[in-house]
Structure 1
């Protein structure tokens, strides 16, 4: 009898685990082709990483964002480009994120569903692209907190 109970418990555990191991399928806006963040999170809320995991990426990003703002303000230049030093910090942000993807399957699925690594790679020396990445990440964290709790 104990063996049957253990098998049932293992089967329930596997069913629950399999529900949370699905890929995140992004919903795209038919007009723009961009990811509809709110709809994607609402439809995939059980497959999302925890807000704590997402806030780690956000907190690392805010550090870089603050350094970029400080550098821009000291250069007082309309055509500001992110310095090589801060570009290296963005690359390091990507490396830390990739490491987390390797450690946690939910982070990897999140990355693949929302193109986080791709967006980080596209920044280069563009403050505008970094700001767009940062707002995108903030929006994701806000909707995950709202729909997942």
Structure 2
């Protein structure tokens, strides 16, 4: 992820505003599901790091599998959202380029940390902008 992830998150959430009052239709529970999964991966990275299983900024295969599982969960959430007329989750995932960002992590711990910070910023701006 290049550039300022905070400004990018702010713009993503701003682009999700709809209606005459500029409300955000994406529900907090929908975005927090993603944050929860990212938190689990981050916690696991911390444990792996504390036990010396992460070296040279390179994520081990177990963590890479967790990242792939997160990608599948996000895709599943988008699939469930296909039935909604407004497709709020799909709009969010596309606007934030979450799948692309996950792919760009590769094996880099630093790239995952930037992704983690980006997700936190998205959740923060969602809340700040009145997401329910």
The TM-score with structure 2 as length reference comes to: 0.79
Task: Give distance in 2, aligned partners of 1:124 and 1:43.
Answer: 28
Partner of 1:26: none
**Cα distance, 1:76 vs. partner?**
7.0
8 Å CA contact 1:81–1:125 kept in 2: the answer is: yes
The residue number in structure 1 matching 2:89 is: 107
Do structure 1's residue 58 and structure 2's residue 50 form an aligned pair?
Answer: no
- Kindly indicate whether residue 123 of structure 2 is the aligned counterpart of residue 147 of structure 1: no
The answer to which structure, 1 or 2, has the higher relative contact order (CA under 8 A, 6+ apart) is: 2
- Give the CA deviation at 1:47: 4.8
Equivalent of 1:42 in 1, 6, 14: 14
Aligned-partner Cα distance in 1 for 2:80–2:54: 40
Report the structure number with the largest CA radius of gyration.
Answer: 1
C-alpha RMSD over aligned residues: 2.1
Aligned to 1:119: 101
SS in 2 for 1:101: helix
Query: For this pair of structures, how many residues does the alignment match?
Result: 118
Task: Show structure 2 runs of 5+ residues with no match.
Answer: 18-22, 82-86
Q: Once the 2 structures are TM-superposed, how far is the Cα of residue 43 of structure 1 from its aligned partner?
A: 4.4
> Which ranges of structure 1 fall in alignment gaps of 5 or more residues?
1-31
Distance, in Å, in 1 between the alignment partners of 2:53 and 2:63 is: 17
Match status 1:82 vs 2:59: yes
TM-superposed deviation, 1:77: 6.0
Q: What's the TM-score once normalised by structure 1's chain length?
A: 0.71
Partner of 2:20: none
Q: Secondary structure at the match of 2:105?
A: coil
Deviations 1:12-47 (A, max 9, x none): xxxxxxxxxxxxxxxxxxxx5976322442343335
